[in-house]
Amino acid sequence: MAAEISENLLIRNGEEGAEKKSSISHRIWIESKKIWIVAAPAMFCRFTTFGTGVISQAFIGHVGSKELAAFALVFTVFVRFAQGILLGMANGLETLCGQAYGAQQYHMLGVYLQRSWIVSIIASTVILPFFILTAPILKALGQDAEIADMAGSMAAWMIPVVYSFILAYTCQMYLQAQSKNMIIAYLAAASLALHVFLSWLLTMRLEFGVAGAMVSTVVAFWLPNIGQLAFVACGGCPQTWRGFSMLAFKDLWPIFKLSLSAGAMLCLEVWYYPVIILLTGNMTNAEVAIDALSICLNINGWELMISLGFMSAASVRISNELGAGNSKAAKFSIATIVITSFTIGLVLFVVFLVFRRRVAYLFTDSDEVAASVEHMAPLLAFSILLNSVQPALSGVAIGSGWQGTVAWVNLTTYYIIGLPIGIVLLYFLNWGVEGVWIGMMIGVLIQSLVLVLITYRTSWEKQVEVAHGRVNRWLVNDEQN
């Protein structure tokens, strides 16, 4: 089997040599097509997944401002807490599936997928108490008692959503590694359309209020999972899915360690946003501050979905090329992805500065909240620009298997540098929400610079050897599967 992998690597290296003879414009065109095959469906899927929460928030915001603040706390703090863990752990699967697919060890993808399910189910069950005890946790952190009680009721509705993330993220990583994520986009589109209709029907037409929005949210998160499972199990991936296997219970510890480091990497980044919300909840006139900040985070999140699409593309392209032994192709892909993502971010930076106040009214009827959003617009615009680069570099790290290293980078830049600066600006210099946001921007900027330095100084020939070793170490013979 090792000989077969070596032969594949020689073939791919020969292909790499042929690519050198192509013109640079032709290479960019070919690479861009490969990137967008993954990035476009991934962006759309991210948009619709993120949009599910935004649509729920928009309907709840028209029920009442306190309900909006409660939902913002639950979704931004607790749901994203769970998302950070489960999406991060699924990124470990993305590394394994991408490199195995690049090395043409197709049968291993189904085994990795099932192992990741087991690890993710355990993780979801461990974090379940946070959703059961949401109200007392928020009160202990100094949040308004009425808003905390509302948030506790909403959190109970979110428990099925947490378990939906297991299938959603693992199947996405499994399908993306094979560039078969168009099915994800189709299912996401159908789910989003249904969510809009159900939210209107249950919340506005039948006047079920918050309960109606919560029912629609649960349905919207679970519907794509059923479709993805049906696609995988019913012949959509004949090379990589051989049915359920007892091998899923073998060698779980290495999967757990990689998933844990991947989860830590993303969690340390994602959790920074809930920390900002919690700090804002202790301010004077917290209701307006939380509403304004949650709207800004949602706007920032919409742009981030584009960058996360490039993160997926970077992860797939880098892991595939490393698994195939193409170090130069991996480096060329990195440059193409980062430049493309930054260019799009620059365009959105300008567009948001022009239309910032109009966007706020999509989320609220309050002039006070809209004015607060407009005041924060320059900071938000620069965040959009920074976020156009950082996720693409994180995708490079995921594709290369650097999750443990980047976890330490995130811990340092966000929590040792960015967060303390934000707290000082908020509490000691009385800069309000803007102070917290500036601290976040400083953390993102330093993180991006460090990732650029790590990527630039990396020996990609050495990374090919590391990927080759990883594929061999966890390989199971096709006959055993």
User: What pLDDT is attached to residue 222?
Assistant: 92
Please name which of 263, 269, 302, 247 lies closest in space to residue 443, comparing C-alpha atoms: 269
Inside any domain, residue 113: yes
User: What pLDDT is attached to residue 6?
Assistant: 43
Rounded Cα distance between 413 and 440, Å, is 9
Q: What is the mean pLDDT of the chain?
A: 80
User: What pLDDT is attached to residue 286?
Assistant: 57
Mean pLDDT of 389-396: 86
Inside any domain, residue 97: yes
Instruction: Assign 111 a pLDDT band (cuts: 50, 70, 90).
Output: confident
User: What pLDDT is attached to residue 283?
Assistant: 55
Would the pLDDT of 13 be above 70? no
User: What pLDDT is attached to residue 219?
Assistant: 92
Integer CA distances (angstroms), 480 to 105, 111, 248, 472, in order? 13, 11, 12, 15
Tokens 């797939």 -> residue: 316
Instruction: Assign 10 a pLDDT band (cuts: 50, 70, 90).
Output: very low
Mean pLDDT of 366-375: 74
Domain count, the chain: 1
Instruction: Assign 94 a pLDDT band (cuts: 50, 70, 90).
Output: confident
400 and 459 in contact (C-beta within 8 Å)? no
3-state helix, strand, coil in the chain (%, to 5): 85, 0, 15
Q: DSSP readout, 32-97?
A: HHHHHHHHHHHHHHHHHHHHHHHHHHHHHHTT-HHHHHHHHHIIIIIIHHHHHHHHHHHHHHHHHH
Instruction: Assign 197 a pLDDT band (cuts: 50, 70, 90).
Output: very high
User: What pLDDT is attached to residue 48?
Assistant: 80
Mean pLDDT of 83-101: 80
Inside any domain, residue 19: no
> Which are the contacts of 264, defined by CB distance < 8 A and separation ≥ 6?
88, 403, 404, 407
Would the pLDDT of 161 be above 80? yes
Q: Which residue range forms the structural domain that includes residue 319?
A: 2-14+24-480
**DSSP letter (8 states) at residue 206:** S
* Tens-digit pLDDT profile for residues 121-155: 988 899 899 899 988 988 887 777 888 888 888 88
* Tens-digit pLDDT profile for residues 20-50: 456 788 888 888 888 888 888 888 887 787 7
> Which are the contacts of 328, defined by CB distance < 8 A and separation ≥ 6?
16, 19, 20, 460
Mean pLDDT of 327-331: 87
287 and 66 in contact (C-beta within 8 Å)? yes
Instruction: Assign 281 a pLDDT band (cuts: 50, 70, 90).
Output: low
Instruction: Assign 160 a pLDDT band (cuts: 50, 70, 90).
Output: very high
Q: Name the maximum alpha-carbon separation found in the chain.
A: 68
Rounded Cα distance between 55 and 472, Å, is 45
79 and 158 in contact (C-beta within 8 Å)? yes
Please name which of 299, 177, 469 lies closest in space to residue 169, comparing C-alpha atoms: 177
User: What pLDDT is attached to residue 401?
Assistant: 81
Q: Give phi and psi for 363, each to the nearest 5.
A: -110, -15
User: What pLDDT is attached to residue 9?
Assistant: 42
Mean pLDDT of 228-235: 88
For 64, how many CA atoms within 13 A lie in the half-sphere containing its CB? 8
Helix axes 80-102 and 107-132, enclosed angle (nearest 10): 170
Would the pLDDT of 250 be above 80? no
Helices (H) and strands (E) in the chain, counts: 21, 0
Please name which of 447, 448, 446, 425 lies closest in space to residue 436, comparing C-alpha atoms: 425
